Amino acid sequence: MNFLLLIIIAGLGLVSLAIVISILTGRATQPMRVLLALILLGFTAFCSFGYLATYEPGIEGAMVFRVGYGGAIIASLYGVIRLLRGGRREG
């Protein structure tokens, strides 16, 4: 695997983790939420292409992958909606 690609993936993972921690502690700003939403949308696009690829003939156990990809798509879109609407509301 290309070392630069590994560094980029690890960096995105650490940035995402830092944003999630700041959201959970209540100190997240709107640009942080938008950045994490963009990362989640990229993950959603990856899962969408994977979901479509499971319809190619000759794939064993394709239904398992379809369910997994479908669940990941729904979960990440739900996360994007929650992030852009401001998360949970107190009151």
Kindly report, residue by residue over 10-24, the tens digit of the pLDDT. Answer: 887 887 788 778 777
The answer to whether 44 touches 19, Cβ cutoff 8 Å, is no
Q: Which of 48, 23, 47 is nearest to 35 (CA)?
A: 23
Give mean pLDDT, residues 75-84.
88
CA 18: distance to chain centroid?
14
Structure tokens at 64: 């398992």
* pTM attached to this predicted model: 0.72
